[in-house]
Amino acid sequence: MARGAADETTDARRRVRRTPKRPASTLAERWTTIDGVDVFYRESPDVPDEPAMVHLHGFGLSGRYLLPTAERLAGEFHTLVPDLPGFGLSWRAPRALDVPGLARAAVTFLDDRGIEKATLVGNSMGCPVICEFAYEFPERVERAVLVSPAGGRFNQPLMGAIAQLARDGGREPSSMVKVATPDYLRFGIYSTFRMFRALTRYPTLERLLELRVPTLVVVGDKDPLMPPPAAVREVAALAETSVVLVVIEGAAHAINFSHPDELANVIRLFMADRPIVDDPDAPGVARQIDLHPQ
C-alpha cells in the first residue's frame, strides 16, 4: 500500500511539472491514465449534456493548436482535445504507436471518459487516425470531420514533406510558430522519422474511401501539403458514404488555428445537416464543392 501511495505521489508531481502554468484556453486542463501512460487533455469546463466531439491533432504537434476552433464549439458539444500518447505533454507509450495504435489509444481515451460515441474532428495526421478509428470501431463514431487530411502519397518522400511544411510555415499566422515549435522540439527527430514511416505504410486512401459515417472534408486552397482542390474533389467523389467537401479560400494547412471562426461555422452547419454557407464576419471564404455535378 505504501509503495502504491508513493507511486501516486510521484505521478502527481510529474503531472504538476508538465502542466502549463497558464491555461491555453477556457477549456479545463486535466490528466488521466491510458494503458499506464499519463495523458494530458482539455475538456469543456462544464461538461454539457450534448454530443461528444473529440479533436485530434496532427504530426508532431499537441492539441494546443486545435484549441481556437475547439473553444468556439465547447458550449455546443462536450468538447475534448487530448494530446495522444507520445505527443505534446502526454508521456510516451512503452512502445511507439503507429496509426492503428493511436486510433486504439483514442478509443481507450473515450472509454476512460465514459463516452460511447463521438464526432471526431482531425487535422493532418489526425485524419488517418480517424479513418482507422472508424474502420475498427464504426459503432463509436457519430460523424467524421477531416481537416487538411495528410499522410498519403502526395506527402512523400520525407524530404518532400519537410519542404511542404516549410512552405506552409510561411502561410500560417506568425503566432503559430510559438505554439508549434515547442511541440516539434519535444517530439524529436527520431520520432519524426518513425512516425513518417508509419504514415507512409498506412493505407490512408483506402480507409478514407471505406468510411461509413457522414463525413466532412475541409481543405484550404493555400495548403502546400494537399493536392489541388480539384484532385481532392475527384477522390471524395469516389466515397460510398455521404461526403461534404468544403474549401476555405485563403487558408493553408492548420485551418483549426488560422481560421477557427470559419471552420467552427462550417462544422456547426454540417452537424445540423444544413447547407454550408460562408460566415461573412470571419476571415476566409468557405464554399462547398459539388462532388457530383450534372
Any domain includes 112: yes
Q: What is the per-residue pLDDT for 75?
A: 87
Any domain includes 80: yes
pTM, entire model = 0.91
Q: What is the per-residue pLDDT for 3?
A: 47
As a whole number of angstroms, the distance between CA 149 and CA 122 comes to: 8
Q: Beta strands 215-220 and 28-34: pairing type?
A: unpaired
User: What percentage of the chain carries pLDDT values higher than 90?
Assistant: 68
Q: What is the per-residue pLDDT for 233?
A: 85
Any domain includes 10: no
Domain count, the chain: 1
Residues 129-154: tens digit of each pLDDT:
999 999 999 999 999 999 999 877 76
As a whole number of angstroms, the distance between CA 86 and CA 79 comes to: 21
Any domain includes 13: no
| Distances from the Cα of 111 to the Cα of 17, 55, 98, 176, angstroms | 26, 16, 20, 32
Q: What is the per-residue pLDDT for 16?
A: 64
As a whole number, mean pLDDT of residues 223-249 equals 87
Q: Quote the domain boundaries for residue 118.
A: 25-289
Residues 6+ apart with CB under 8 A from 17: none
Judged against a pLDDT cut of 80, whether residue 91 lies above it is answered with: yes
Q: Beta strands 78-82 and 37-43: pairing type?
A: antiparallel
Judged against a pLDDT cut of 80, whether residue 124 lies above it is answered with: yes
Any domain includes 233: yes
Q: What is the per-residue pLDDT for 293?
A: 65
CATH number at residue 73: 3.40.50.1820
Judged against a pLDDT cut of 80, whether residue 112 lies above it is answered with: yes
Q: In what order do the strands lie in the sheet with 285-289?
A: 28-34, 37-43, 78-82, 52-56, 118-123, 141-147, 215-220, 243-249, 285-289
User: What percentage of the chain carries pLDDT values higher than 70?
Assistant: 91
Confidence of residue 166 (pLDDT cuts 50, 70, 90): confident
Q: Beta strands 141-147 and 215-220: pairing type?
A: parallel
Any domain includes 294: no
- Which residue would you say has higher pLDDT here, 228 or 143? 143
| Residue 152 identity | G
Any domain includes 60: yes
Residues 61-77: tens digit of each pLDDT:
999 999 999 999 998 99
Any domain includes 3: no
| Distances from the Cα of 274 to the Cα of 40, 217, 264, 277, 288, angstroms | 34, 15, 14, 9, 12
Least confident span in 59-63, 99-103, 229-233, 252-256: 229-233
Q: 155 exposed, middle or buried (CB, 10 Å; 0-12, 13-18, 19+)? A: buried
| Distances from the Cα of 180 to the Cα of 77, 92, 126, 290, angstroms | 26, 18, 15, 34
